[in-house]
Amino acid sequence: MKTQILNNNIFSYISLRQEYSNTKLVEAVRSRCISQRLPQAIQENELIFGNIDKIFAAQWLDELHVICGTKCNKLLVQNVISKQLWEIPTLKGSGTTPFPEKNCGIHSISINPSSTRLATGAQNPNGVAFYKLPGIEPIAVGEFHTDWLFTSSWIADDVIATGSRDKCLAFWVLKDNDQMDNAESSISFIKPAKTIERNKTLDKVRAMTYNPFYENLTTITSNGFVHIWDVNNFTQIVCHSLPFSKENVCIAHEKTNLLYAVGSLSHVSLLETRSARAVGSLCSTDQGAGVRSVSFNDTIVTIGTGYGSILFYDIRVNKMLENVDGVPFFHRAGRGWLRRDSVFREFFWETECYPNAVYAHSYQPTTMKLLTVGGPLALGLYGNYAAYWD
């Protein structure tokens, strides 16, 4: 009954937002038409990244190049047309912060609004590495977190927030002179301008997004809570439990209708951005596989699952996009590359093919190509998957 109430609420919420929207009608109709027809028109083009393990984070650098971060802590750039591949050196820290026993790899890649700065994981997975774009020249390493860096979000061109397994938030100010004339390292080591730590309601931070409309930072934590923070005074505005408590690991922000989409074990929750209260929800077709990535393309929510499905949900009509037969439409991630090592031979040899989780995806804004990346969901399997759809 609760889910049905939530699903009914989305109709009135979207109608109210669009009734008072100042967006020009022609542009709105054009954008909506593209977003609704695009999923069924695109085709997969697999990318080859070699013998690396699980791509956890990825972004488009421009119309031709993508940048990816892996579980084996590699930062890679590939031209999607020529397939030329470059490895970008991860940045070494000052040595004053402890290195964790296990390296989780790179879970976060963020590009600032003007596309002049890149933030990602450092050689120490607790740190944040900053590069200058478009050349990807090293600038600085941010050192504060004491556990794995999971997420980041730019608040302005020179201000970024990060969240970690250490249950802390950090806010970094990246100045133009944050590159020292140091012949040995050629980079600077910086500390955050502000931190939020030892907050009794804050657990391991899994995902975050910045909402410029309200100037708020919204974070998702591993204990199933959503928090909203005022970035002007770093105070907590909202803290309450999410509709579905298990494995909330991704969040996306839809700006026109002021919605958040949060992915959990088997559902995507739609939240109103001011209060983070649920106004709708949808159930993934891959039950129990986890919603691993989520994004908005106009009114279409794109969903990547742990079993390799790429789903498309229209918030205006509160249903999945369907094919001509009325069956929910989806794409399936390709085979990728899998290492058949001793673990595979001992525990997984009976099954020929394992689905690749779609750990991250993103649309290229001008060409509308869709980038999907990931790898095998099973912990013991070593492999990767990457493709672009056009």
* pLDDT tens-digit map of 306-344: 999 999 999 988 899 988 788 889 999 999 999 988 888
Residue 119 lies in a domain: no
Residue 332's H or E segment, with its range, is strand 330-332
Q: Is the pLDDT reported for residue 58 higher than 80? A: yes
Q: Tokens representing 261?
A: 């989409």
With a cut of 80, say whether residue 24 has pLDDT above it.
no
How far is CA 280 from each of CA 156, 286, 289, 319, rounded to the nearest angstrom?
30, 19, 21, 11
Q: For 318, left (φ over 0), alpha (ψ -120 to 50), or beta?
A: left
Distance from chain centroid for Cα 88: 20
H helix intervals, the chain: 2-19, 25-41, 342-343
Question: What would the mean pLDDT of 375-388 be, rounded to a whole number?
Answer: 94
* DSSP for residue 256: T
Identify the H or E element spanning 150: strand 149-156
Mean pLDDT value across residues 53-70: 98
Q: Output the pLDDT for position 57.
A: 98
Q: Is it the case that residue 276 has pLDDT exceeding 70?
A: yes
What does the block give as tokens for 286? 């891959």
pLDDT at 25: 45
Longest alpha-carbon distance in the chain:
65
Whole-number mean pLDDT of the chain?
A: 89
Q: Per residue in 150-163, pLDDT tens?
A: 999 999 999 999 99
Tell me how far apart the alpha carbons of residues 236 and 365 are, in angstroms, rounded to a whole number: 32
For residue 266, what pLDDT is reported?
Answer: 94
User: Reduced to 3 states, what is the DSSP secondary structure of residue 228?
Assistant: strand
Percent of the chain with pLDDT over 90: 72
Kindly tell me if the per-residue pLDDT of 20 is higher than 50. no
Structural domain for 337, as ranges:
37-85+308-389
> Beta-strand (E) ranges in 193-297?
194-196, 205-211, 216-221, 225-230, 235-241, 250-254, 259-263, 267-272, 278-283, 291-297
CA-CA distance, 197 to 222, in Å (whole number)?
16
**Is 46 part of a structural domain of the chain?**
yes
> Is 130 within the bounds of a domain?
no
d(Cα 164, Cα 221) in Å, to the nearest integer?
Answer: 10
345 pLDDT band, cuts 50/70/90, is confident
CA distance 95 to 192: 17
Distance CA(281)–CA(364), nearest Å, equals 26
Q: Name 29's Cβ contacts closer than 8 Å, sequence gap at least 6.
A: none
Residue 317: the pLDDT is 87
Q: List all residues 6 or more positions away from 201 whose beta carbon is below 8 Å from its beta carbon.
A: 225, 227, 236, 239
Q: Is residue 379 scored above 90 in pLDDT?
A: no
Domain count, the chain: 1
Average the pLDDT over each of 250-259, 345-354, 380-389 and give the range with the smallest value: 345-354
Give the number of residues written for the chain: 390
Give 66-94 pLDDT, tens digit per residue: 999 999 999 999 999 999 999 999 999 99
* Choice between 151 and 353, residue whose per-residue pLDDT is larger: 151
pLDDT at residue number 326 = 81
185 pLDDT above the threshold of 70: no
Q: Is residue 325 part of a domain?
A: yes
More confident residue, 130 or 255: 130
- Centre a 10 Å sphere on the Cβ of residue 1 and count the other Cβ atoms it contains: 5
Distance from first CA to last CA of the chain, Å, rounded?
Answer: 40
Please check whether residue 138 is in contact with residue 178, taking contact to mean a CB–CB distance below 8 angstroms. no
The answer to the question of residue 58 being in a domain is yes
Question: Quick one: CA torsion of 111, 139, 57, 38, rounded to 10 degrees?
Answer: 30
Within a domain: 244: no
Residue 26: which pLDDT band, with cuts at 50, 70 and 90? Answer: very low
pLDDT at residue 299 is higher than 60:
yes
Closest to 389 (Cα-Cα) out of 363, 365, 366: 363
Alpha-carbon distance 261 to 270, whole Å? 5
Peptide bond connecting 134 to the previous residue in cis, omega within 30 degrees of 0 = yes
In a domain, 169, yes or no: no
The answer to whether residue 262 sits within a structural domain is no
The pLDDT of residue 9 is: 65
